[in-house]
Structure 1
Amino acid sequence: MTERFHTLKEIAELTGLKYWLVLRCANNGLFPTYTVGNKRKRALLSEVLTAI
């Protein structure tokens, strides 16, 4: 089973973190982000949880 990419807003909702904190961590390279199709950054929940 493959893991789904989530927007940073979804990541914030799923983890209970503030959106601005998730965005700051993504911009600082704490976890990898991906651009799929459009310009929105997306991430894998497992990689975010590992970084936390």
Structure 2
Amino acid sequence: METSHVHALQQKHSGLDKQLREEMNRPAPDSAKIQALKKMKLRVKEEIALN
């Protein structure tokens, strides 16, 4: 059960990373959205590390 949770978190982290890259590559990136995505990514990474 724990490995499926970690796998789901890793997928979420990858999805956030993709969103972050897409936002940063836009002609006029939204810095607030970038910061929010970075914070979410960090929280997910920390949760992965705890498991």
Same fold (TM over 0.5): no
**Greater share of strand:** 1
Of Structure 1 and Structure 2, the greater helix share is in 2
Indicate the structure whose relative CO is greater, using CA pairs within 8 Å and at least 6 residues apart. 2
Point out the structure with max Rg over C-alpha: 2
